[in-house]
Amino acid sequence: MNKVAMFEKVSFVQFKKDWQTLYQDSDEKIKEIYEKIKLPQRATKGSAGYDFFLPIDYLFKPKEKIKIPTGIRVRINEGWVLQLFPRSSLGFKYGLKLSNTVGIIDSDYYNSDNEGHMFMSMVNDNDEGLSIDLKQGNAIVQGIFVPFGITIDDAADGIRNGGFGSTNK
**What domain range includes position 71?**
5-148
Residue 133 lies inside a defined structural domain of this protein: yes
Quick: pLDDT tens for 117-137. Answer: 999 999 998 888 889 899 999
**pTM of this structure:** 0.88
157: left (phi over 0), alpha (psi -120 to 50) or beta: alpha
Residue 111 lies inside a defined structural domain of this protein: yes
Residue 155 lies inside a defined structural domain of this protein: no
What is the CATH number for 77? 2.70.40.10
Quick: pLDDT tens for 60-92. Answer: 998 899 999 999 999 999 999 999 998 888 878
Residue 158 lies inside a defined structural domain of this protein: no
